Chains A and B, each alone.
Chain A
């Protein structure tokens, strides 16, 4: 009996001790959340490295407000439940700003936690309009939106490629489907949508759907989704004798697409931000990144800029307090690796310069 009492008391004591987490003062903590493990971990590590680079650069200059910056990584495993847990962990640890969540299904539930705690969140990659539609004043993103991207892709298809028949495939994710619907909406009346198909993500065999698409005889095939499925689709489409080129979004902008799809990907289009290798402002970033972590991923530079925006705002606000930083982020007039960034009232970037890329000689090149 006595023993049990002791055990219970020890348990209580342990719980009480855990309250003293996250000491104030010594360092300023920045969170970086995304899938650091799992099938799409590559996006997570690209993001983390981008943020790391920004933090290291600031620390080399003496930190912010005279304090060192500490990067706290959070692994949401692309799972909503884990994302909320990570968000709560950040709040408890006294993180003052968060870069991240990659997936919309993680960003959205996590943003509520950040909102309650008054911590600014800048997503580097979440393109779903719903994120900023929630009306939270602390949620921002540095990437474009699906509706802007869908419009860019549709405009390119109609005006440049002058297509008449389009087939649309999406991967039934928040991102893929949203993007596909925006694309469809923006095509206008002159273009006939000959197929609108969803596919199961993670599957390998898409031969039925590509056969169907091929027999619909489109001029262009749109794909809303990630490179893993994109590469397979393109490859299998060409294997059943299809000839129309593919167009996709930021999700397929990856070297992996070229590896999976092989020669079949030649001539594939993708909408994305402008070539950071050609933006003069990103030159320094690219060089430094390569030195430390190798070739930057497509979202590394976005994460880097997001982290810089948070750090700059902390400096301007003069305090490491989320509630004071948020208005500074909203008012920021930032010139970074991506060029000029300003946020609108919802927290989206004011200008989203989507351009179209094309695979030529097994490399993505910006279409001039």
Chain B
């Protein structure tokens, strides 16, 4: 039973980690929490739903091969969500750069509510149900049951994180992001276009969130427009837990939160499942604001 909880926790933790990366990246460059990030994740799930529903209209070579088709779905959803991220920054954050702290926060909150309700109105308030594409047949192995889908999700989230790690550490743009997050002013002085870097950061974060959204949609089979609220908060908790602004921290934090939740709900009380995340959030912020992997820093504003 412990192993089963662990596996469940890792599956959901992977998606928390992917979303948490978006928070962390944006925080790194802008020192600002992107409140609407959870909604991007929700929109990713909806895009996944729309695209998968389009399966019968797809060219035959895609219909024949499920992995290829899913890859295309992930790609398109992630690309569209990147645009969402791009425009989110353009509309809600860029005009407010340098304004008092409260202002971008409120506009982000507004964006979050707007997107949520926009999806509710255009897609309906009812839960949308994914067509059952991947076999849900459980495989039992040493007392642990899992589905092939679950394994796919775990491995693709790890692969995506590796991709991001490569992007941040090995590419020119990634280096620019790191430079900007260390010191935006100096980065601008050495010729980095800070505006571009910020846009790219938002896009990268949204890309990952969209992938997480599609995965979660496939995994649970039903999505609705409120998905982004809780998902966003939990991913944020994961980012804080690992140390916000710290990329490996967000990954560790995501998995850790998933596991804590699964074990807490499994062994204590499932009624309070959502409370665990909030308690962790408050406890970490109060007692160790730098998070598990973060460096101590005085400024937490």
Answer whether A260 and B127 are a contact pair too, CB < 8 Å, given A197-B270, A208-B266, A211-B1: yes
Answer whether A197 and B271 are a contact pair too, CB < 8 Å, given A204-B220, A204-B222, A240-B145: yes
Q: Which of B150, B220, B270 has the most CB of A within 10 A?
A: B270
Neighbouring B residues of A235 by C-beta, 8 Å: 136, 220-221
Contact, CB under 8 Å: B129 / A208 = no
Q: How many residues of A contact B (CB 8 A)?
A: 37
Is there a chain B Cβ closer than 8 Å to A356's Cβ? no
Neighbouring A residues of B220 by C-beta, 8 Å: 204-205, 232, 235-236
Give the distance to chain A from B46, nearest Cβ to Cβ, in Å. Answer: 14
Contact, CB under 8 Å: A200 / B5 = no
Contact, CB under 8 Å: A228 / B138 = no
Neighbouring A residues of B129 by C-beta, 8 Å: 256, 259-260
Neighbouring A residues of B1 by C-beta, 8 Å: 211-212, 215
Bound-complex Cα distance A239 to B12 (A): 14
Contact, CB under 8 Å: A212 / B270 = yes
Neighbouring B residues of A172 by C-beta, 8 Å: 271
Contact, CB under 8 Å: A256 / B126 = yes
Bound-complex Cα distance A175 to B273 (A): 20
| Number of residue pairs A-B, CB distance < 8 angstroms | 110
**Which residue of A is nearest B121, CB measured?**
A37
Bound-complex Cα distance A143 to B222 (A): 29
Give the distance to chain A from B117, nearest Cβ to Cβ, in Å. Answer: 10
Neighbouring A residues of B230 by C-beta, 8 Å: 202-203
Bound-complex Cα distance A256 to B127 (A): 9
Neighbouring B residues of A260 by C-beta, 8 Å: 127, 129, 221-222
Answer whether A240 and B4 are a contact pair too, CB < 8 Å, given A211-B266, A228-B222, A260-B127: yes
Is there a chain A Cβ closer than 8 Å to B274's Cβ? yes
Bitwise, A258-274 to B at CB < 8 A (1) or not (0) is 01101110000000000
Give the distance to chain B from A207, nearest Cβ to Cβ, in Å. Answer: 4
Contact, CB under 8 Å: A39 / B224 = yes
Partner of B140, one of A38, A199, A241, A264: A241
9 contacts between A and B (CB under 8 A): A41-B125, A200-B270, A208-B5, A208-B265, A228-B222, A238-B138, A239-B136, A239-B138, A262-B136
A interface with B by C-beta (< 8 Å): 37-42, 172, 197-200, 202-209, 211-212, 215, 228, 231-232, 235-236, 238-241, 256, 259-260, 262-264
Apart from A204-B227, A207-B11, A238-B138, list 4 A-B contacts with CB within 8 A: A197-B271, A205-B261, A208-B263, A209-B266
